[in-house]
Amino acid sequence: MLPKKVAVAMSGGVDSSVTAAILKGRYHQVIGITMLLHSGQDKGIVESTRKVADKLNIPIHTVDFSKLFEQRVITPFCNEYRQGRTPNPCIYCNKHIKFDALLKKARQLGVDCLATGHYARVIKSTNGYQLLRGVDRSKDQSYFLYNLRQHQLKNLIFPMGSLYKWQTKKIAKKLALNNSIRPESQDICFIPNGDYSSFIFNYAQSAPGYIIDTEGKILGKHKGLPGYTIGQRQGLGLDSNRRMYVIKLDAEKNILIVGGQEHLYRCNLNASQLSWVSGQPPLDELDDITARIRYRSPAVEVSLNINQDNAGVQFKKPQKAIAPGQSIVFYRGDFILGGGVIESPE
């Protein structure tokens, strides 16, 4: 039976706006919810969502999660960088804000389900609810959703998961929503004007230190470890006759270690904070599993050694620039099994 009342998380962008439009024609009642997340948030978001809501003739609610967002997203993000790691704030946001605090708020408003504009799919099977990649591989966002569990999936809808981006844009144009939708941005939402480096240096409170090679030779000085990540080549300020890449950030000694491209490849990694969509790890079915070590990386074959909340991961082929703090997500075909946080490459 179809849910009678659905809340749509609306950001003023094309994906969430089309999500609301699709559900408006499919369900009995649709309401919009806009989240206020940080002080530097673009005020145009609220204006855009109201324009879309008026166009679709649906009520819109605004909730202030700015304090929670500071605690659960921005602060951990900065803390991770201080430790020489590379965090993914979108995964924090999905885990703690959108699919926890927002889902709870939606239920308080009396809705049956929460919908978002994510390009992913949820299906119900005899084994419970399953999370799948979006059909548009270029926009698939399942990587960011591996922390979702059964009690959440049963109350979630992802209409965009069955569409290609060009179809989404076509629907928006057909419904004359384009004038109400704000331009899309690839920047992290809480970093003003996309000035990533300035934000990191200002908030992570970093100190300069030495840059050394793999043999311990001092090559120069870095501006502060939070401004660097594994695999980085540009901005090192080194005078070298060969290309040098960041291969390790030693936060304890405040040292940046660089080396040739050959030093970037690893066949193994350790992951912690494991989360499984089914609620249980695939202990008896460890064949045909692939993994992605970052959002845009391809899914590659792996073998797993799972020990409670940790896993040893072995790649069939060496992987480049494995960054501690990023997430590794496990798949079987189109199905997301779960994932965890990369602790260290080996």
Residues annotated catalytic, as ranges: 93, 189
Q: Which of 9, 16, 6 is nearest to 182 (CA)?
A: 16
Backbone phi, then psi, for 253, in 5-degree steps?
-100, -5
DSSP 164: -
3-state secondary structure of 51: helix
3-state secondary structure of 16: helix
CB 211 within 8 A of CB 236: yes
Q: Which residue type does 90 have?
A: C
For CA atoms 94, 95, 97, 103, the dihedral sign is positive
3-state secondary structure of 253: coil
The dihedral formed by the CA atoms of 196, 201, 206 and 212, expressed in degrees to the nearest 10: 60
Instruction: Give CA–CA dist 134/140, Å, rounded.
Output: 5
CB 345 within 8 A of CB 268: yes
Cα 163 versus chain centre, distance = 20
Q: Which residue type does 333 have?
A: G
CB 309 within 8 A of CB 254: no
What residues pair up with 291 in beta bridges, in sequence order? Answer: 300, 330
DSSP 135: S
3-state secondary structure of 82: helix
Q: Where are the beta strands (DSSP E) in 70-127?
A: 113-115, 120-125
